């Protein structure tokens, strides 16, 4: 059995982060005094309404933005150093693939950029293609793939340098329900096989409950942590899990956080 996640070393430390955009009348407080840790091997979702600062927080972790104040460390390094040392892979809402490169060539791009020789990475690519179920499509071009398949390529590309951490910003929100459910299950499977730490942005309560070990609930204007909820998950497909009492209890609990109905959220809030 896996060791409890709370006993694992801290992978990401978010320490009193604030972030603003614009100035004067147009100043937006995107994030205010946000602090939490993510442990190695944990799946943590950032959940909240549009504009609550989910993407901003993920971008700060990925060194795509600098915070106004506070500190982020990834494996005890500044995000810049973590980025240069390829400590994380990123997947966005749109797959952002290179249209003129095949599936295989898209997945291999980070390895090519890092200066590895083709002979050194053919085994890695074969494994990644299998992991995301695209072995038969390795010579296809992005325009020959469905949206879900394109996202699979983006996930494989993000894993190509074997980073310990995966940062994902609404990777499935543009997909239809069937494809989304398939990819959610596959992501859990990939996570199990690779033992990555995952930070996953979503505005879907069921998605967050289905995938996460913990959910960081953000409220908007200013973007702040409302609460952090520990999820009791049951393994299985979404179709199965969503019918369980545990799943209903968890989604109700998370929903009650948004509607402030809860008197006491018991030990689930950490
Ligand atoms: N580059 C920017 N310039 C100005 N304001 C920005 C910028 N990026 C984000 N914001 C503002 O910061 C706030 C948080 O934005 P962010 O994109 O992080 O929200 P989000 O939770 O990801 O929303 P969504 O669910 O719609 O993707 C919003 O009010 C947004 O308008
Ligand atoms: Mg966003």
Q: How confident is the model at residue 1 (pLDDT cuts 50, 70, 90)?
A: very low
The answer, yes or no, to whether residue 263 has pLDDT greater than 50, is no
- Asked, as a colleague might, if the bond just before 135 is cis with ω within 30 of 0, I would say no
d(CA 162, CA 167): 13
* CA–centroid distance, residue 59 to ligand 1 (Å): 11
Q: Who wins on pLDDT, 122 or 38?
A: 38
* CA–centroid distance, residue 52 to ligand 2 (Å): 8
CB atoms within 10 A of CB 3: 9
Which residue's CA lies nearest to atom 12 of ligand 1? 30
Number of the ligand 1 atom closest to the C-alpha atom of 57:
18
> Tell me, what's the pLDDT at 7?
82
> Tell me, what's the pLDDT at 72?
98
The mean of the pLDDT values for the chain is 91
Regarding the beta carbon of 28 and ligand 1, being less than 6 Å apart is answered: yes
* CA–centroid distance, residue 147 to ligand 1 (Å): 24
CATH 3.40.50.300 domain range(s) in the chain: 5-87+164-268
> Tell me, what's the pLDDT at 118?
86
d(CA 65, CA 59): 6
The answer, yes or no, to whether residue 86 has pLDDT greater than 50, is yes
d(CA 154, CA 160): 10
Interval 114-155: pLDDT, tens: 898 888 888 999 999 998 999 999 999 999 999 999 999 999
* CA–centroid distance, residue 50 to ligand 1 (Å): 8
Which residue's CA lies nearest to atom 17 of ligand 1? 55
Regarding the beta carbon of 9 and ligand 1, being less than 6 Å apart is answered: no
Enumerate the H helices of 101-260 as residue ranges.
Answer: 103-113, 118-131, 147-159, 177-194, 205-211, 238-241, 245-259
d(CA 245, CA 235): 13
Q: Which residues pair with 218 in a beta bridge?
A: 225
Nearest to residue 226, comparing CAs of 54, 62, 58? 54
Which residue's CA lies nearest to atom 4 of ligand 1? 21
The answer, yes or no, to whether residue 11 has pLDDT greater than 90, is yes
Interval 111-123: pLDDT, tens: 999 898 888 888 9
> Tell me, what's the pLDDT at 268?
56
Regarding the beta carbon of 21 and ligand 1, being less than 6 Å apart is answered: yes
CATH of span 5-87+164-268: 3.40.50.300
- Asked if residue 184 lies in contact with residue 229, where contact means CB atoms within 8 angstroms, the answer is no
Regarding the beta carbon of 22 and ligand 1, being less than 6 Å apart is answered: yes
Output the DSSP codes for 17-86. EEEEES-GGG-EEEEEEEEEEEETT-EEEEE-STTSSHHHHHHHHTTSS--SEEEEEETTB-HHHHHHTT
Instruction: Give percent of the chain above pLDDT 90.
Output: 70
> Tell me, what's the pLDDT at 210?
94
> Tell me, what's the pLDDT at 119?
86
Instruction: Give percent of the chain above pLDDT 70.
Output: 94
> Tell me, what's the pLDDT at 261?
46
Interval 196-244: pLDDT, tens: 999 999 999 999 999 999 999 999 889 999 999 999 877 788 788 888 8
Residues 6+ apart with CB under 8 A from 33: 16, 17, 18, 70, 224
Q: How confident is the model at residue 157 (pLDDT cuts 50, 70, 90)?
A: very high
Regarding the beta carbon of 5 and ligand 1, being less than 6 Å apart is answered: no
Number of the ligand 1 atom closest to the C-alpha atom of 52:
21
């Amino acid at each position: 059995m896996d060791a409890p996640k709370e006993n694992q070393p801290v992978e990401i430390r978010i320490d009193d982060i604030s972030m603003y955009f614009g100035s004067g009348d147009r100043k937006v407080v995107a994030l205010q005094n946000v602090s939490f840790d993510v442990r190695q091997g944990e799946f943590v979702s950032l959940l909240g309404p549009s504009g609550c600062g989910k993407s901003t927080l993920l971008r700060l972790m990925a060194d795509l933005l600098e915070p106004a104040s506070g500190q982020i460390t990834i494996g005890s390094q500044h995000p810049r150093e973590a980025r240069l040392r390829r400590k994380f892979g990123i997947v966005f809402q749109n797959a952002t693939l290179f249209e003129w490169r095949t599936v295989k060539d898209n997945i291999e791009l980070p390895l090519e950029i890092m200066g590895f020789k083709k002979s050194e990475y053919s085994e890695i690519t074969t494994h990644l293609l299998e992991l995301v179920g695209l072995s038969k499509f390795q010579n296809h071009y992005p325009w020959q793939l469905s949206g879900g398949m394109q996202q699979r390529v983006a996930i494989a590309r993000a894993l190509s340098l074997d980073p310990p951490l995966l940062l994902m910003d609404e990777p499935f929100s543009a997909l239809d329900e069937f494809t989304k459910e398939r990819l959610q299950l596959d992501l859990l499977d990939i996570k199990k096989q690779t033992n990555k730490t995952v930070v996953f942005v979503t505005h879907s309560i069921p998605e967050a409950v289905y995938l996460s070990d913990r959910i960081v609930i953000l409220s908007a204007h200013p973007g702040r942590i409302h609460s952090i909820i520990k999820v009791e998950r049951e393994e299985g497909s979404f179709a199965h899990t969503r019918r369980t009492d545990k799943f209903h209890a968890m989604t109700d609990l998370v929903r009650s956080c948004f509607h402030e109905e809860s008197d006491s959220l018991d030990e689930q809030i950490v």
